[in-house]
Copies of this chain bind each other. A is one copy, B any other.
Amino acid sequence: MDQAKQTFRLYLQEKGFRKTPERFAIFDEIYASNQHFDVELLYLKMKEKKYRVSRATIYNTMELLLNCNLIRKHQFSRNVTQYEKSFGTSQHDHVVVADSNEVIEFCDPRIESIKKTLEDKHKIKISHHTLYFYAEKSSPTSNT
């Protein structure tokens, strides 16, 4: 279960980056939870726990974790970059719900079939995709 951290450790090793306590503390904080998060949330959670890291260091570490595929980056809205841990999690897509900070994750096989159709039709090889649905909660109230 410590495989993710081991991956991180190896990555730092191989790239010749230093294994600082801050980097592992940030890693631990991220991997201790399953929710999506942004840098500010991480900063506040760590501050709460009296673990002092600067935002600059968090931003730096996010870059490292992205490069070794231990987190995924999302741009749900224009003002905040969100992340999620990604070790051992399967590919999924997202529905961003307005007016509630909710993000629904889903996985639908029809996407794979669309992909196959496109590959055949255009003689291409699709490596990956990004799909976001943007929604709001359907309210029973009417509006003019």
- Please indicate the chain B residues that have their CB under 8 angstroms from the CB of A122 in the complex: 95, 104, 135
**Interface size in chain A (residues, C-beta < 8 A):** 35
How far does the alpha carbon of A122 sit from the alpha carbon of B97 in the complex, in Å? 10
How far does the alpha carbon of A138 sit from the alpha carbon of B124 in the complex, in Å? 5
B78, B81, B108, B130: the one within 8 Å of A81 (CB): B78
How far does the alpha carbon of A97 sit from the alpha carbon of B126 in the complex, in Å? 9
Mark interface residues in A62-82 (1 if CB within 8 Å of B CB, else 0). 000000000000010110010
If A123-B138, A138-B124 touch, does A118 touch B132 (CB 8 Å cutoff)?
no
A133 engages B118 (CB within 8 Å): yes
Q: List 26 A-B contacts (CB under 8 A).
A: A95-B124, A104-B118, A104-B124, A106-B118, A108-B114, A110-B110, A110-B111, A110-B113, A110-B114, A111-B114, A118-B135, A119-B135, A119-B138, A124-B136, A124-B137, A124-B138, A125-B135, A125-B137, A126-B133, A126-B135, A127-B134, A127-B136, A128-B133, A129-B133, A131-B131, A131-B132
Known: A119-B135, A123-B138, A127-B134. 13 other contacts (CB 8 A): A75-B75, A95-B118, A95-B126, A97-B124, A110-B111, A110-B114, A118-B133, A123-B140, A124-B137, A126-B135, A130-B130, A130-B131, A131-B131
